[in-house]
Amino acid sequence: MSLFVNRLSGPIPKYLGNITTLVYVNLGSNRFNGTIPAEIGKLVNLNNLYLNEINLTGELPTELNNLKMLTELSLSSNNFTGKLPNFRSWTNLTRLELEGSGFEGPIPPSISILKNLRDLRISDLNGGASEFPLLKDMRSLMYLTLRSCNITGSIPNYLADIGSLNTIDLSFNNLKREVPDFDRLPSLANLYLTSNSLSGQIPNWIQSINLSYNNFNETSEQSICRDNINLFRSFNGENSLEHGKCLTPCSKDWYSFYVNCGGREVTIGNIKFEANEVSEGGSAKFVHSKENWGSSSTGHFQDYNKTKNRYEAYNVSVLKMKDSELYADARLSPLSLTYYGRCLANGNYTVTLHFAEIIFRDNNSFQSLGRRMFNVYIQDELKLKDFDIEKEAGGVDKAVIKPFKVMVKNKTMDIRFYYSGKGSTAIPFRGTYGPLISAISVESDHKHQSKGKNIFIPTGVIALAIFLILIILIFSWWKGYIGCRISTKKELRGLDLQTGFFTFRQIKAATNNFDAANKIGEGGFGSVYKGILLDGSVIAVKQLSSKSKQGNREFVNEIGMISGLQHPNLVKLYGCCIEGSHLLLVYEYMENNSLARALYGTRPEERQLKIDWPTRQRICIGIARGLAFLHEESTLKIVHRDIKPNNILLDKDLNPRISDFGLAKLDEDDNSHISTRVAGTIGYMAPEYAMWGYLTYKADVYSFGVVALEIVSGKSNMKYRPSESFICLLDW
């Protein structure tokens, strides 16, 4: 019986215990309350029991000891009380999950009899300290998580002899002494040891690990300064508060820093929030963004079979809150995300944290069922426990701003967002749980003032400076680097653009006057060119063709439509140029061009790409997610009408982005983009749309099916030639 991911509420019914033939029960990710009924203990044939993420309370009934056939048990993300259960009756267990369950430690010695375990996950235990549990007979163990379990003593050397281990997470304990020689483990892919009291020398075999907040002996700079090792505050002695010898000395005292977590640089008022677009996680790398701040993400999304984890979140609808630029992107971490301040002047500071839940949805779909909870520590002091952004804000896509007063004593500050094992792990999709932060501002409560006498600046110097600035501004305007002459035609009035503007001079310079060598394709409006801006940014410019039947109104509709839409599977609009008769859109540049070229490009410059099956699957899923966003999740519902391989672009990692919204016509009466005017590409249009002009969202679904068939077969649907021997792809 599986009722996983629903809206079931109330207590778990006792009569379930009467269905004694049950071997599988999954009630996870619901809204139950109360305790586990003792009647569940009657299910003596039960092999799998999942009661995770459903807010259960109280102690476990002793009747559960009757479930001697259990092989998998998950009780994570609940609010139980009392001690951990006695494991003596569950000797057949291969999987045990007790993360963020609310139990008290210590881990009982009886856990040692669970010799068949392949997956053991226990975290965030309350209660006193205990020694490392005896696990030496678990020879099949692959995944070991004993995080924040108040474990003391040393890491047992026998762990290095369990050759099947793939993941070891022993972070946030009080483990001492040296790290065993885990280099002997052939399958070890993930090792997390942050926030312990480990000492001794840092092993040379370590390649990528977070060892921050430990007590190692500092050795030579060559041995410790490695890119993928985070050693912030990991040494004893004088350098315990720094990153060893790896960071540059402080040039001065700093009094503030501002970070747009997960996003590009933005300016709010007169404050510049610096970019923090690094998406690395799992690795232990300390990202030293500026002299006065850096960040590090630890952990990997468990049970997430993607080849590349995502550690950034993007909003999936138009954000309407104040300063929405700060909340359009966010950093996400599966375990611990830490921002470090350094070179700060000692004293009192105000730390302001900006949050917004931009992944979960507030609708009747399964996307509204997710829960995110995490803890926030500043200077090692717990500030927020089991923090739920959506609950605090009263909904999704709403800002929550939390200010805190803290003190800096040793020129350093750390702000840590920690996943405590609570919340959903697979809704709306796997790899979405853990702490999420949109922006951070840190300001000293005492404004820095220059010491000494006031400096007199002669009036002539000021006048000369103003004159030079005016000359620079006039030259920049003449070159087209600033300013934008916007058409005042009525179709542009009232358009709320959430993008930047470019001048025609800028775009001409970027594309080398639209040189044919920079032409990369034809879009819904006409030619598309590759360009390079003065700052080195690579862009794609879509130019309105003089032969196109689309005019200013449809062009403007596309701008208004795309400017507010951001999703990982939609091509991103950087800005536009509406200057005289020139109408252009500026997009992010996609390194691998279109899906059509990747699948069956024939010319030398259209080299086919070798796309393996997992990548083809990821492309299909990405297109589906983009369409689901257009159809259901965005504020403005959109029917694309021309889904085909040429309109699916691929970035450098072969992630798909849907492009060309030019065929979607604004229907101002019902706030949707559905039109009865037939437009599209033969071979991809749904029959009812092509024959009778009847358009619904299902037209895009049909087109997606054709594209999916092309992806699987590697054959083009557009190469049909009438003959008796030729088989149409759709018939095939």
Which neighbouring-strand residues pair with 344? 254
- Please count the other Cβ atoms lying within 10 Å of the Cβ belonging to residue 132: 18
Mean pLDDT in residue range 686-700: 81
Range with lowest mean pLDDT among 145-159, 187-201, 344-358: 187-201
- The number of CA neighbours under 13 Å toward the Cβ of 342 is 25
Q: Which residues are annotated as a binding site for ATP?
A: 542
Straight-line distance from the first to the last Cα atom of the chain, in angstroms, rounded to the nearest whole number: 39
pLDDT at 666 over 60: no
Is the bond preceding 13 in cis, omega lying within 30 degrees of 0? no
Residue 4: per-residue pLDDT:
80
Residue 282: per-residue pLDDT:
47
Range with lowest mean pLDDT among 271-275, 438-442, 641-645, 712-716: 712-716
The string of pLDDT tens digits covering residues 84-107 is 988 999 999 999 999 988 899 899
Q: What is the rounded distance in angstroms from the CA atom of residue 100 to the CA atom of residue 430?
A: 18
Residue 348 near residue 405 (C-beta atoms within 8 A)? yes
More confident: 321 or 483:
321
The string of pLDDT tens digits covering residues 383-436 is 999 898 888 888 888 889 999 999 998 888 999 998 877 766 655 555 566 788
Residue 410: per-residue pLDDT:
85
Q: Which two tokens stand for residue 178?
A: 């040296």
Mean pLDDT in residue range 262-271: 85
Q: Which two tokens stand for residue 102?
A: 């609310």
pLDDT at 502 over 70: yes
- The catalytic site residues sit at 642
- Please count the other Cβ atoms lying within 10 Å of the Cβ belonging to residue 27: 21
Residue 452's pLDDT band (boundaries 50, 70, 90)?
very low
Residue given tokens 């005896």 in the structure block:
134
Greatest mean pLDDT range, 235-239, 458-462, 714-718: 714-718
Q: What is the rounded distance in angstroms from the CA atom of residue 658 to the CA atom of residue 573?
A: 12
pLDDT at 304 over 70: no
pLDDT at 136 over 90: yes
Mean pLDDT in residue range 451-465: 53
Residue 39 near residue 15 (C-beta atoms within 8 A)? yes
- Please count the other Cβ atoms lying within 10 Å of the Cβ belonging to residue 161: 14
Q: Which of 546, 528, 554 is nearest to 649 (CA)?
A: 528
The string of pLDDT tens digits covering residues 175-209 is 988 888 888 888 888 888 888 888 877 776 665 56
The string of pLDDT tens digits covering residues 545-574 is 554 444 555 555 556 666 667 788 888 888
Rounded mean pLDDT of the chain? 78
Q: Which of 501, 388, 491 is nearest to 435 (CA)?
A: 388
Q: Which two tokens stand for residue 46?
A: 């039960």
Range with lowest mean pLDDT among 114-128, 247-261, 575-589: 575-589
Integer CA distances (angstroms), 202 to 181, 189, 191, in order: 11, 18, 14
pLDDT at 708 over 70: yes
3-state secondary structure 337-348: EEEEECCECCEE
Mean pLDDT in residue range 374-384: 92
Q: What is the rounded distance in angstroms from the CA atom of residue 110 to the CA atom of residue 383?
A: 35
Domains in the chain: ranges and CATH: 9-222 (3.80.10.10), 256-444 (2.60.120), 478-589 (3.30.200.20), 594-732 (1.10.510.10)
Residue 456's pLDDT band (boundaries 50, 70, 90)?
very low
Range with lowest mean pLDDT among 62-71, 150-159, 438-447, 709-718: 709-718
Residue 346: per-residue pLDDT:
92
Question: Which phi and psi (to 5°) does residue 11 adopt?
Answer: -75, 155
Geometric angle at alpha carbon 33, from 28 and 36, rounded to 5°? 75
User: What is the gyration radius of the CA atoms in the chain, in angstroms?
Assistant: 29
Mean pLDDT in residue range 96-124: 92
Burial class (CB in 10 A: 0-12, 13-18, 19+), 35: middle
SS3 213: coil
Residue 156: per-residue pLDDT:
94
Q: Write down the H helix ranges in 410-551.
A: 459-479, 504-510
Q: Which two tokens stand for residue 82?
A: 């009392």
Report CA torsion sign: 2, 13, 433, 111.
negative
pLDDT at 540 over 80: yes
Which DSSP helix (H) or strand (E) runs through 9? strand 9-11
Tallying the residues shown for the chain, one arrives at 732
Q: Which two tokens stand for residue 562?
A: 């795309």
Question: Which phi and psi (to 5°) does residue 177 adopt?
Answer: 65, -160
Q: Which of 301, 321, 319 is nearest to 310 (CA)?
A: 301
Question: Which phi and psi (to 5°) does residue 88 adopt?
Answer: -65, -25
Geometric angle at alpha carbon 325, from 323 and 330, rounded to 5°? 115
pLDDT at 283 over 70: no
Q: Name, in order, each residue with C-beta under 8 angstroms of 620's C-beta and a sequence gap of 6 or more.
A: 708, 711
3-state secondary structure 576-612: EEEECCEEEEEEECCCCCEHHHHHHCCCHHHCCCCCC
More confident: 246 or 465:
465
Residue 94 near residue 70 (C-beta atoms within 8 A)? no
Residue 320's pLDDT band (boundaries 50, 70, 90)?
low
pTM above 0.95, yes or no: no
Mean pLDDT in residue range 137-150: 93
